[in-house]
Amino acid sequence: MAGHGATDGLIWANLVHLSYNMWGDREPTPEDKRSEYWAAKPYLRFDDSLWNDILKKMAEVGMNMIVVDVGDGVQYTSHPEVSVENAWPRARVKEELAKARDLGLEPIPKLNFSACHDEWLGPYARCLSTDAYYTVCRDVIAEVIDMFDGPRLFHLGMDEETAQHQRAFQYVVIRQFDLWWHDLNIYIEACEKGGARPWVWSDYLWHHPDMFFENMPKSVLQSNWYYGAEFKPDIDYVKAYHLLEEHGYDQLPTGSNWSNAENFEKTAVYCRNVIPAPRLKGFLQTPWKPTLEACRERHIQAIEQVGRAIAAAKGAA
């Protein structure tokens, strides 16, 4: 078999957004518009028809995990002020997760607590690092863990908390030094209290490698992400896969069809040769579009790319 990774037991996951309120706090101008869905909305943007087809397609190609970006898309009993209009009630959450499980897909929750991607927190997005904020974060993590019936993993996001990534925002917040780590540890503790292993994006490593390796617990699952088409260890974003392996972290590398159609399959091949079992836990695909019919093609293509990667991995075994 080429590389160290094993086909059996690997996670083949797809990120699907229930809530897409993770970007801007205002309507973008044509000059700074990242996408037509950039601005947060006070209502749920979600099409059931596409969701159902995503689940079926994932099962067809052999995927086994769906990561649901929950955000403000559920009706919280602990903090109803966070939930948007038409958010799923608890009963609907249970029903949809059961549907996924029946298709062989393990549902894993995601709440992004990066200051760059926390518009879903509503009024608390502008209360960062206060006692009230910490209470809300702990409460919603606990409530989502309960909704998901005690998931084994919980994705906390924590990417792109930089001035550059917030340059088009009205309200910019960047935690630095010990405060970023203090807050991350609060989320980690809340996950572990509920029996879920915390999981984060790893891009903090790109700019602060010394602090990262000094402070990041080995218990936290790492998803470095890179969406380019060229894979060389001298590319900083690719080098991170090597550094995480050298320091003994469990990894779930992340690809996307954000910028090209080749990245996910190349990510799977490259990382299987860099990260040995058992530290290679699997792969995550990230289409980065809301679950809307207008984005159907992006979602289906993303799943098909994973299907080809799964087939290639089986062939290499």
Looking at this protein, which amino acid is placed at residue 63? M
Contacts of 185 (CB under 8 A, 6+ apart): none
Alpha-carbon distance of 188 to 157, in angstroms, equals 11
Contacts of 197 (CB under 8 A, 6+ apart): 152, 153, 154, 191, 219, 220, 221
- Residue 126 domain-assigned (yes or no): yes
Q: Can you give the CATH number for the domain in which 252 is found?
A: 3.20.20.80
Token pair listed for 205:
């490593």
CA distances from 55 to 38, 70, 247 (A): 25, 16, 35
Alpha-carbon distance of 113 to 155, in angstroms, equals 10
- Residue 2 domain-assigned (yes or no): no
How many structural domains comprise the chain? 1
Per-residue pLDDT of the chain (317 residues; tens, 9 = 90+): 333 434 579 999 999 999 999 988 999 888 777 688 999 999 999 999 999 999 999 999 999 999 999 999 999 999 999 999 999 999 999 999 999 999 999 999 999 999 999 999 999 999 999 999 999 999 999 999 999 999 999 999 999 999 999 999 999 999 999 999 999 999 999 999 999 999 999 999 999 999 999 999 999 999 999 999 999 999 999 999 999 999 999 999 999 999 999 999 999 999 999 999 999 999 999 999 999 999 999 999 999 999 999 999 999 87
- Residue 3 domain-assigned (yes or no): no
Alpha-carbon distance of 58 to 310, in angstroms, equals 11
Is the Cβ–Cβ distance between 32 and 84 less than 8 Å? Answer: no
Q: What angle do CA 30, 31, 34 make, to 5 degrees?
A: 75
- Residue 16 domain-assigned (yes or no): yes
| pTM given for the model | 0.97
Alpha-carbon distance of 110 to 37, in angstroms, equals 19
Is the Cβ–Cβ distance between 231 and 197 less than 8 Å? Answer: no
- Residue 5 domain-assigned (yes or no): no
Contacts of 88 (CB under 8 A, 6+ apart): 18, 44, 73, 74, 75, 96
Alpha-carbon distance of 148 to 127, in angstroms, equals 27
- Residue 212 domain-assigned (yes or no): yes
The sign of the dihedral angle between the CA atoms of 304, 305, 307, 311 is positive
Structural domain of 119: 11-316
- Residue 4 domain-assigned (yes or no): no
Is the Cβ–Cβ distance between 93 and 133 less than 8 Å? Answer: no
DSSP structural state of residue 92: H
- Residue 1 domain-assigned (yes or no): no
Alpha-carbon distance of 220 to 206, in angstroms, equals 17
